[in-house]
Amino acid sequence: MSTTEAPPANGRHSMGQPMKRKEDARFIAGKGRYIDDIVLPNMLYLAIVHSDYPHAKITKIDKDAALKIPGVLAVITADDLAGVGLAWIPTFHGYDKQMVLAVGKVLYQYQEVAAVVATSRAAAADGVEAVVVEYEQLTPVVDPFTAKTDKTLVREDRENKTNHIYHWEVGKRAETDAAIAASDVKINERVYFQRCHPAPLEPCGCVADMNPATGTLTLYMTSQAPHAHRTVVSLVTGIPEDKIHVISPDIGGGFGNKVPVYAGYVCSAVASIVTGHPIKWIETRTENLTTTGFARDYTMDVEIGATKDGKVTALKVTTHADHGAFDAAADPTKYPAGMFGICTGSYDFPVAFTELDAYFTNKAPGGVAYRCSFRVTEASYAIERGMDLLANALGMDPADVRMKNFVRKDQFPYPSPLGFVYDSGDYHTTLQKALDKVGYKELRKEQAEKRARGELMGIGISTFTEVVGAGPSKHFDIMGIKMFDSAEIRIHPTGSGIVRAGTKSQGQGHETTWAQIVAEELGLDPQNLLVEEGDTDTAPYGLGTYASRSTPVAGAALAMAARRVREKARNIAAHVMEAPLDDVEWVDYKFQVKGVPSKTVTMKEIAFAAYTNPGPNEPGLEATYYYDPPNLTFPYGAYIAVVDVDKDTGETKVRRFLAIDDCGTVINPMIVEGQIHGGLTEGFAIAFMQEIAYDAEGNNLQPNFTEYLIPTSLESPHWETDSTCNPSPHHPIGAKGVGESPNVGSPAAFVNAVMDALSPLGIKNIDMPLTRSKVWSAIQEATKA
């Protein structure tokens, strides 16, 4: 009774192996099943009428012409939704409500005003064109500073007649102010992290299918959080949760965009309930960019104090947040500004304070998406830009300033001044590895030579700390639902099995990595462990995949469920090997009788025994585990960008980019590297190309991919990656999560590099995106005197 499998290269069964992805087979063959691939009998189509104006009273909606179009069956407005109690729905954290279709007035350009139901996609589109909406324009409010004056009210429906949504603060204000005032050197700079959009290549969509016979509403939808959506649908409609079946099929990228609830989902569900037909709604790209979950839009005043030899004394960050027309940021309930308190970053500040005021404006709602753990990207940008501005003020090298102020390895677990307890890290070693690998000294030498010739070369560093894995139930919930996650494992008699989790992959490769985690714990073949997610009737309850929470939370649940299976298997092994339970050990991925290496039994053999010869044990081999994390995890990294800026055109060429990431234990290095490449490319896009800007009249200026730019292979730099590994001490397998790190850490590295290049001209800050024209204008301005 022994296994003949060859040991893998790293001595581990499957953990840490660059296993090729199991999900690829269908994707490379064109056999993925995305939302628009789902076609049901007698299906109807829904399309949406959008507002032309950013802020206007609706004086009339004329459906007549639309209803005369062959194939158009109905035009739904807010009045119709009011009839079923769905004109408004609660926002995710429950502190605000949002219109499904415009009620009385429109609050942002492209807002959903009416929905057309028709027998074909084309007829629905024709119907949209024929709906006539009359408006009376109002003054739009397009930034938080104008909003603050309350001259024009965005939300007359609210009890409090103000555009101010909330004030949030954490830390010690008086001590921080005093410490900064007393510092030898201080910086105070306003940086703006622009509004941008995750723009997954697959837009959002759904097929809502009410079965009139059973009363069951099946919702196929692009959902990063199917269970949460099921519960929300039940709470707002009153349909019992057992009669709601959410199925999230293959998702063509999410990046946080597919967390919120959108008008199209609600209108489709209502239309299906009323008509008894399945209803399909597929968003256009313009709808995606103009109405669904955007990201950032934080204006941050960053103040840092330091001694003259470069030791930081205090940090203060003051933020104006633009939330758009509804407070629909999908933040955990107790964290209105998400994880923004991570803004002390990787540095040991003796004292810190941050405060934030959020405002309504006539812009689309949303606010936490785009590969970001609830505002950690804004916070990281603030501190990493701040550290470079400080280095500049001190006349010190930015690497030296960071080394001087890092939290030391011996300080972990490190209680940060704004309330987090960092789990593990060794920032000095990781940055040193990056400096050595990139050839930092040589690059600085080259830069000095180039500067002497008047050429603009820059080197930018970002040594960020992330906070992910929401979250511990004592702090984290969404609408009261605790943010744990779950796993269920069933091992079949022949040693294969099915693994289900409350998460939902959108490209992250869970079908592979979840199998690797379970295979590692059980000594089974990951190829024969089927992973299934996204079906609320079969998967255990979980809060879904976003905010880099899958591996820290569900990954832990998987390992713990597998350990439950293993413990049960150990009992069966004792019976099979006729040994006392205390003498049965798990050694080298097999059960062995203590001290008798020849007496072993494999998990595969125990799986068969569980169904054929369990002895006194309960038959079967399954387990479920709900994991409530004891703490968040704190992945970190050291990134270095090297750029050349063309003085005459303002064009930046990213010559090199090195990312050293530390995400703790790595499950699949190939997948981790792929995640980092993707996140860096998104960070690059934000730094140089992307902004959802509105003009003074409230017009959205980037409503499609010809304006909102996505980098292609031509623009994207070649990425260099490497890692260090400081496992999380509180996670069952030591993993921290990685998906968002590259997007969190890289924007500051790019901007720091460009500002470093421009520093001989005295330019301190340009807000992203660093387009050619912006950089060129700044150079012109700086050199004209």
Partner 1 sequence: MKVSLKVNGADYERDVEPRVLLAYFLREDLGLTGTHVGCDTSSCGCCVVLMDGEKAVKSCTMFAVMADGHEITTIEGMKKDGKLHPMQQAFSDQHGLQCGYCTPGMMATAIAFLKHNPDPSEAEIRDALSGNMCRCTGYNNIVKAVQQAAAELSAPAAEPVAAS
Percentages helix, strand, coil for the chain (3-state, rounded to 5) are 30, 25, 45
Residues 70-129 that bind partner 1 (CB under 8 A): 121-122
- Our CB check for partner 1 shows the closer of 598 and 706 to be 706
CB-facing half-sphere around the CA of 425: CA atoms within 13 A: 34
* Least distance between partner 1 and beta carbon 39 (Å): 8
Is residue 98 among the annotated active site residues?
A: no
Q: Which of 202, 303, 485, 511 forms a contact with partner 1 (CB under 8 A)? A: 202
Is residue 549 among the annotated active site residues?
A: no
Q: Which of 100, 199, 315, 757 forms a contact with partner 1 (CB under 8 A)? A: 199
Q: Are 451 and 758 in contact (CB under 8 A)?
A: no
Q: Which of 5, 37, 157, 242 forms a contact with partner 1 (CB under 8 A)? A: 37
Q: Which of 4, 9, 11, 29 forms a contact with partner 1 (CB under 8 A)? A: 29
- Residue 506 binds partner 1 (CB under 8 A): yes
- Our CB check for partner 1 shows the closer of 3 and 716 to be 716
- Residue 701 binds partner 1 (CB under 8 A): no
Token pair for 26: 């269908």
Please choose, out of 25-33, 206-214, 314-322, 601-609, the segment that lies near partner 1 by the rule CB under 8 A. 25-33
* Least distance between partner 1 and beta carbon 285 (Å): 4
* Least distance between partner 1 and beta carbon 33 (Å): 8
Residues near 242 by beta carbon (within 8 Å), at least 6 away in sequence: none
- Residue 511 binds partner 1 (CB under 8 A): no
- Residue 712 binds partner 1 (CB under 8 A): yes
* Least distance between partner 1 and beta carbon 55 (Å): 25
Given phi > 0 = left and psi -120 to 50 = alpha, else beta, which region is 64? alpha
Helix (H, G, I), strand (E, B) or coil at 208: strand
Residue 103's Cβ-count burial label (10 Å; 0-12, 13-18, 19+) is middle
Prior bond of 637 cis (ω within 30°): no
- The residue type found at 341 is G
Please choose, out of 54-62, 212-220, 502-510, 636-644, the segment that lies near partner 1 by the rule CB under 8 A. 502-510
- Residue 747 binds partner 1 (CB under 8 A): no
The DSSP secondary structure of 275-326, one letter per residue, reads HSS-EEEE--HHHHHHHS-EE--EEEEEEEEE-TTS-EEEEEEEEEEE-TTS
Which of the residues 155, 371, 402, 549 is marked catalytic? Answer: 371
- Our CB check for partner 1 shows the closer of 522 and 753 to be 753
d(CA 637, CA 380): 11
- Residue 193 binds partner 1 (CB under 8 A): no
Please choose, out of 143-151, 230-238, 388-396, 671-679, the segment that lies near partner 1 by the rule CB under 8 A. 671-679
- Residue 486 binds partner 1 (CB under 8 A): no
Tell the residue number behind the tokens 């510092």, with chain if given: 183
- Our CB check for partner 1 shows the closer of 203 and 629 to be 203
HEC string for 325-358: CCCCCCCCCCCCCCCHHHHHCCECCCCEEEEEEE
d(CA 127, CA 63): 9
Q: Which has the closest alpha carbon to 719: 644, 652, 650, 661?
A: 661
Residue 287 forms beta bridges with which residues? none
d(CA 222, CA 257): 9
Please choose, out of 149-157, 171-179, 200-208, 623-631, the segment that lies near partner 1 by the rule CB under 8 A. 200-208
Is residue 372 among the annotated active site residues?
A: yes
Token pair for 14: 């499957």
Is residue 772 among the annotated active site residues?
A: no
The DSSP secondary structure of 156-203, one letter per residue, reads TTSSS-SSEEEEEEEE-HHHHHHHHHT-SEEEEEEEEE--B----SS-
- Residue 21 binds partner 1 (CB under 8 A): yes
- Residue 670 binds partner 1 (CB under 8 A): yes
Q: Which of 7, 8, 31, 588 forms a contact with partner 1 (CB under 8 A)? A: 31
Please choose, out of 61-69, 479-487, 547-555, 708-716, the segment that lies near partner 1 by the rule CB under 8 A. 708-716
Residues 713-742 that bind partner 1 (CB under 8 A): 713-714, 716, 718-719
Which of the residues 267, 372, 447, 663 is marked catalytic? Answer: 372
d(CA 40, CA 206): 12
- Residue 564 binds partner 1 (CB under 8 A): no
- Residue 255 binds partner 1 (CB under 8 A): yes
Q: For 652-730, where are the alpha helices, taking DSSP H only?
A: 669-688
Q: Which of 678, 698, 745, 769 forms a contact with partner 1 (CB under 8 A)? A: 678
- The residue type found at 35 is I
Residues noted as catalytic: 224, 371-372, 740
Question: What are the residues binding partner 1 (CB under 8 A)?
Answer: 20-21, 23-34, 36-37, 39, 121-122, 199-203, 250-253, 255, 284-286, 506-509, 670-671, 673-682, 704-706, 710, 712-714, 716, 718-719
